[in-house]
Amino acid sequence: MVKQETDKPYICLYNTLKMNVRLPKDEDIHIANTKDIARIMRKILLRQNRLHRKKEYLWAIGLSTSNNIEYIELLTIGTLNKNSVKPIDVFNFAVAKKCEKIIVCHNHPSGNIEPSKDDIAMTQLLTAGATVLGIQLLDSIIICEDKEYTSIKNK
């Protein structure tokens, strides 16, 4: 990774094969609400070229006790309308980083932000797993390129 010289301190929040997002420490890592996460995750999604955005991406975002982002992990890249992940993969990094709070986010390439039955079932499964581990699943959200977000946890 190449370090950039700048007058603002930066933190690397997300690093995987072809996606690297660097956000200013004092600007974007404190999360006040789900809308903040949706905004950040949309920025990450829009860094992909248009062809790659036609797939579902699923991320886990770990938060500190003061709601600062500790990590953003790309868990899976699915197909046009399907993504599959095991709960152990969602919570693995949270346990390793000792994050007591996480948010799960995925995109719908179709542009429809309504959760599917599978989305709701996965959120329920992750909520149960989080409870067992003593981790708070604060939310599970769906984002699209050009629309607001949907909170699955409230469905």
137 belongs to a structural domain: yes
144 in a structural domain: yes
- In contact, 74 and 16? CB cutoff 8 Å: yes
- Which tokens go with 68? 């600062």
The half-sphere exposure of 50 on its side-chain side, counting CA atoms within 13 A, is 1
Residue 86: inside a domain: yes
Angle between helices 117-133 and 87-97 (to 10 degrees): 40
Whether 141 and 120 have beta carbons less than 8 Å apart is answered as no
If one counts the domains in the chain, the total is 1
80 part of a folded domain: yes
Q: Residue 130 is part of which domain span?
A: 30-151
Is 36 a member of any domain?
yes
Tell me, what DSSP letter sits at residue 39?
A: H
Give the pLDDT confidence of 108-151 residue by residue, as tens digits: 998 899 999 999 999 999 999 999 999 999 999 999 988 789 99
Domain-embedded: residue 103: yes
Q: What does the pLDDT look like over 89-112, one tens digit per residue? A: 999 989 999 999 999 999 999 889
CB 26 within 8 A of CB 9: yes
* Residue 51 scores a pLDDT above 80: no
Report the distance separating Cα 56 and Cα 77, nearest Å.
Answer: 6
Task: Report if residue 83 sits inside a domain.
Answer: yes
User: Within a domain: residue 11?
Assistant: no
d(CA 93, CA 51): 29
- CATH number for the domain spanning 110: value is 3.40.140.10
Q: What DSSP designation does 7 have?
A: S
How far is it, in rounded angstroms, from Cα 152 to Cα 108? 13
pLDDT of 85 higher than 90 = no
Work out the percent of the chain whose per-residue pLDDT is above 70: 75
